[in-house]
Structure 1
Amino acid sequence: MHPPFDARIEACRRRLETVGAELLVCFPSPNLTYLSGFVESPSERHFLLFVPQSGSPAIVAPAMYGAQLDSLGLPDVRLWDDETDPLIVVEDVLEGMALEKEDGTTGSTVLLDDRMWTTFNHDLRSLLPDAEFGLASAALEELRIRKDETELAALRRAGAIADRVSLELRSRGEELVGTTEAELASEIDSLLSAEGGGEPAFETIVAAGPNGARPHHHPGDREIDRGEPIVLDFGAFVESELEAGTARYPGDQTRTIVVGEPPAEYERVHEVVREAQGAAVEAVEPGVEAGEIDRIARSVIEDASYGDAFVHRTGHGVGLEVHEPPYITAGNDRELEPGMVFSVEPGIYLEGEFGVRIEDLVVVTDEGCERLNDSPRGWESGENVGR
């Protein structure tokens, strides 16, 4: 295999030993991409990566993927065609792996991809009737939660793309008035692509006026009016630079802007959210619990008497998935470590009036954190940008 996947496979083996499992089986998912560099959507076909605690990993895949898999340098590729029962191939792979426990018992612990479809889960259970089963995250979460330099480089590029699009949107000022939410969302997606991004990392959010009080509003045909807050939440995937294989990492940034003069209460609300976000980012450093970051952001908003209007967690991890550990939420006692990447995105949502959310991605460093977004966080647009 090629870097960094050979190192990830070895790290996975060590984690299997730590958690007391003999085998991990991945299905087309971010876990499979993390370990192999192969990106594929799930389908009804058997496409499975087997990583034993000892011995060589193997992949079972439809024959149509042969050329693609050859380029990855995987040590043991078992292809099957439409005239072959894939379970025969799977069974042959399992028989060749030493799955006995150290005490000599025939039972084994097998970790299955958290996203694996029930069909394949059932097949593996039928072939390993004496095994105990768990989730692949028991081994892989500890590996994926800390990003290596290749991953961080991709996330920085994704953040820079979002920054450039954010600046472009602000500069348009009055041009935004009369545009529908859906039209602006489509334009944002085009801008992300023009700046070097791939497909949107999630459905772009444009929420104007009272729609901004819905944190995950779907853009519609409402026209943007002068003087109303506009919540803009967007990002694009970028490809990481790998010797072989591929992996995509997303941007994720939120700003809330206004064209013209905002509602009377808006400036105070925006400043409270901005203060909460800044305080939370300032508190990020190794050893701090994830729940403490949430508490700090929430306390600023509660002290301003808007606690009931902050209706979601402060943040979520970002990597191969837009939402993954660590989750920055109350009660999460997971200590932050260098290499963890997550969003910090407090918000206040006033039903029937408007919403405000400010979001940046941060990476934990040895001494604190680095913001992956650096576009203006104020509400001004047009000629007033940077005020």
Structure 2
Amino acid sequence: MPTRRSFLLSSAAATAALPLAAQSAPVLPAPIAALSNRSHEAVPITLAERQRRVDRARELMKQQKIAAIAITGGTSLVYFTGIRSGVSERMFAWILPASGAPYIVCPAFEEARMTEQLSQMPDGAHTRIYTWNEDEDPYALLVAHIPGPGPLALDERVPFVYADRLAKAAPSRTIVSGIPVTAGCRAIKSSAELAIMQLANNITLSCYKAAYESGHPGMTTAEFTALVSKGFAQCGVSGAISCQTGEWSALPHGSIKPQVIRENQIVLIDDGCVLEGYVSDISRTFVYGKASDRQKKIFDVVHAAQAAALSAAKVGAPCHVVDDAARKIVTDAGFGPDYKTFSHRLGHGIGMDGHEWPYLVRGNNQPLEVGMCFSDEPGIYLPGEFGVRLEDDWHMAAQGGVMFTPTSSSLEHPFD
């Protein structure tokens, strides 16, 4: 006669006999399951484009009278070379002189790994690799090969310990910021970069919509973010998402407190995905159920501010006018002045980093140029009540600002 134990063992054996996919396949809500892998649609950045970036960097260095720029692990290293390297106590750097071939300074045990990547780097055939052993000084090695006089520029992500030791290794050579070079290149996106960013934004919005259609009151915010993450996985990308609701939506970057989505309460989601090294950053605010008149009023003001900001974007105009336009709408509606309820800048540059130069903020007189990409994210935050933020990414075109994605239409129909 079968016992409970034998039944359980036989059931386990039957499960083990199933294909692995059948055992572990998650049951996804229909809107999430309907998403498909779109990562293959992205066209990777080519070696020829990276070479153009290097050529542009050299032009900027000559304008700034910089002898060379040193870039350690991080986004700018990937941008120029395609090399992905972290930062540790062992100094590694790619050095681009204003004139002459680039060179790499790295630990001796990294030489083979770097050599195999030279064919994928700009000027790789002419790039020298200088190595150092654990008891040697890499900083002296780096400065010894800088051709000619002039300042050494450092990428903004170079650790202080590197900068300090480089300065001591070359006391007669000025150390300067490399931001005019790196941001001068990275701030202007090419058509290839814009195409990747367009796809990243499209994917993000589709995952947000699928999660919204799959969500419901009673769900925790953690459960909602898991829906978006599953959507990203379906689309073949990675990403991050935050979700705040009710009074916690009045904190622009949210709260760590556990939260439950309630009917007729504000839900605010933010962040995006990563595709071919480029990121998206979108915020949506909505309710499940019926929005109150006060919620609708705040949404309408923020919606108008977002539109005013985009309309103010003209080639040659200073960056601050975009922030000015949005802030005026908020203030004129009685939610000012200044940063009283709209407590952050209007937007940030975006590309390979979620926040990068330049920034749309009061006092920034840098002119807007074709190819620059930004977030447009006005918000009104009412402590103890709720917050509303609408964020879409856009790029500067000759005719004005162009959104990558359709903007939100209302709290009750955020993806119509």
User: TM-score per shorter chain, which class?
Assistant: 0.7 to 0.9
Letter in 2 for 1:234: D
Give 2:137's aligned residue. Answer: 87
Give 2:147's aligned residue. Answer: 98
Shift of 1:96: 3.6
SS at match of 1:265: helix
Shift of 1:219: 5.0
- Say whether residues 1:177 and 2:236 are aligned partners: no
Question: Does the C-alpha gap of structure 1 residues 60 and 350 become closer, same or farther in structure 2, counting only changes over 3 Å?
Answer: same
Give 1:331's aligned residue. Answer: 363
Q: Which has the higher helix share?
A: 2
Task: Give the count of matched residue pairs.
Answer: 362
Structure of higher CA gyration radius: 2
Q: Which residue, out of 319, 323, 348, partners 2:351?
A: 319
Shift of 1:127: 2.2
- Say whether residues 1:285 and 2:314 are aligned partners: yes
C-alpha separation in 2, matches of 1:77 and 1:188:
45
C-alpha separation in 2, matches of 1:354 and 1:233:
15
Describe the superposition over 1:286-309 as per-residue Cα deviations: whole angstroms up to 9, x where unpaired: 122211111111111111101221
Q: Which residue, out of 236, 244, 247, partners 1:196?
A: 236
C-alpha separation in 2, matches of 1:80 and 1:230:
53
- Say whether residues 1:275 and 2:323 are aligned partners: no
Question: Does the C-alpha gap of structure 1 residues 38 and 199 become closer, same or farther in structure 2, counting only changes over 3 Å?
Answer: farther
Question: Does the C-alpha gap of structure 1 residues 57 and 86 become closer, same or farther in structure 2, counting only changes over 3 Å?
Answer: farther
Q: Which residue, out of 164, 169, 175, partners 1:122?
A: 164
Larger mean CA deviation between 108-117 and 352-361 belongs to 108-117
Residues 238-253 of structure 1 mapped to structure 2, 5 A cutoff: 238-239=275-276, 248-253=277-282
SS at match of 2:238: coil
Question: Does the C-alpha gap of structure 1 residues 195 and 206 become closer, same or farther in structure 2, counting only changes over 3 Å?
Answer: same
SS at match of 2:406: coil
Shift of 1:237: 0.7
Q: Assess if the C-alpha contact under 8 Å between 1:55 and 1:97 holds in 2.
A: no
Give 1:227's aligned residue. Answer: 264
Letter in 1 for 2:120: L
Q: Which residue, out of 325, 329, 332, partners 1:303?
A: 332
Q: Which runs of 5+ in 1 are unaligned?
A: 101-107, 240-247
Q: Assess if the C-alpha contact under 8 Å between 2:310 and 2:401 holds in 1.
A: yes
Shift of 1:91: 3.8
Give 1:262's aligned residue. Answer: 291
Give 2:27's aligned residue. Answer: none
- Say whether residues 1:237 and 2:279 are aligned partners: no
Q: Which runs of 5+ in 2 are unaligned?
A: 1-45
Give 2:3's aligned residue. Answer: none
Larger mean CA deviation between 287-296 and 117-126 belongs to 117-126
Give 1:48's aligned residue. Answer: 93
Question: Does the C-alpha gap of structure 1 residues 92 and 79 become closer, same or farther in structure 2, counting only changes over 3 Å?
Answer: closer
Aligned-residue Cα RMSD (Å) equals 2.0
SS at match of 1:312: coil
Q: Which residue, out of 178, 181, 201, partners 1:136?
A: 178
- Say whether residues 1:213 and 2:242 are aligned partners: no
Give 1:76's aligned residue. Answer: 127
Letter in 2 for 1:158: A
Give 2:114's aligned residue. Answer: 66
Question: Does the C-alpha gap of structure 1 residues 51 and 45 become closer, same or farther in structure 2, counting only changes over 3 Å?
Answer: same
Shift of 1:149: 1.5
SS at match of 1:297: helix
C-alpha separation in 2, matches of 1:354 and 1:97:
55
Question: Does the C-alpha gap of structure 1 residues 385 and 293 become closer, same or farther in structure 2, counting only changes over 3 Å?
Answer: closer
Q: Which residue, out of 354, 358, 365, partners 2:397?
A: 365
Shift of 1:85: 4.2
Shift of 1:189: 2.0
Shift of 1:66: 3.0
Question: Does the C-alpha gap of structure 1 residues 97 and 311 become closer, same or farther in structure 2, counting only changes over 3 Å?
Answer: closer
Q: Which residue, out of 78, 84, 89, partners 1:33?
A: 78
SS at match of 1:309: coil
C-alpha separation in 2, matches of 1:2 and 1:169:
37
SS at match of 2:105: strand
Describe the superposition over 1:252-274 as per-residue Cα deviations: whole angstroms up to 9, x where unpaired: 00110000012341011101111
